[in-house]
Amino acid sequence: MELFLPESGLMIWMLIGFLVVLFILAKVGWPMIMESVNKRNQKISDSLTAAQEARDSLAGIEAAKEKAIAESKAEQIRILNESHELKKQLIDEAREEARNEAEKLIADARLKIQEEQTEAMNQIKAEVITLSVDIAEKILQRELSDKEAQTEYIETLLKDRPQIEA
């Protein structure tokens, strides 16, 4: 059992050696270890802060992207609506212009037809008058070719005429 129980002198020297090593480590080693641990903690803290800032920045960029997309969609809708309104306005203007042009053409055509109709009527009247005069002339020539027929014709006219009282 002596192997398991050390002597008291050995224990004292071991305790003194342990205390010397502990003192040296406490004075030199421990501050260096603590400084390393503190630097490591600071580096980890800085990295976490940078990561949080990057996450916040990314969230801001994402929000800006969503806002830009929404604005571009709104602009697209506005442009489409404007182009639709412009198309409708142009179509309405073209229709109105075509309607006005058609009305003008119809009015001009009616006026021309009226003028041509008047001219045709005048020509027909002139032809009728000419034909009537020619026919009357031929009838009178035939009827009045002899003296006896002329006298009969004048008497017939006088009989058919209403009598004027004096």
Could you give the CA distance from residue 65 to residue 58 in angstroms, rounded to a whole number? 10
Residue 3 falls inside a structural domain: no
Residue 40 falls inside a structural domain: yes
Residue 127 falls inside a structural domain: yes
Residue 95 falls inside a structural domain: yes
Residue 9 falls inside a structural domain: no
Could you tell me the two tokens for 136?
């009357």
Residue 147 falls inside a structural domain: yes
Could you give the CA distance from residue 166 to residue 154 in angstroms, rounded to a whole number? 21
Report whether pLDDT(104) > 90.
Answer: yes
For 106-165, the pLDDT digits (tens) are 999 999 999 999 999 999 988 888 888 887 777 777 766 777 777 777 778 777 766 655
pLDDT at 166: 46
Residue 1 falls inside a structural domain: no
**Across all residues in the chain, what is the average pLDDT?**
87
Could you give the CA distance from residue 24 to residue 161 in angstroms, rounded to a whole number? 172
Residue 145 falls inside a structural domain: yes
pTM for the model stands at 0.40
Could you give the CA distance from residue 76 to residue 92 in angstroms, rounded to a whole number? 24
Confidence of residue 17 (pLDDT cuts 50, 70, 90): very high
Q: Where are the alpha helices (DSSP H) in the chain?
A: 8-24, 30-143, 147-160
Domain of residue 101 covers: 29-159
For 62-79, the pLDDT digits (tens) are 999 999 999 999 999 999
User: How far from the centroid of its chain's Cα atoms is residue 117's Cα?
Assistant: 50
How many distinct structural domains can be found in the chain? 1
The label of the residue with tokens 């006219």 reads 157
Could you give the CA distance from residue 138 to residue 80 in angstroms, rounded to a whole number? 84
Question: Quick check: 150 and 142 in contact, CB under 8 A?
Answer: no
Angle, helix 30-143 to helix 147-160, in steps of 10 degrees:
120
pLDDT at 144: 65
How many C-beta neighbours within 10 Å does residue 102 have? 10
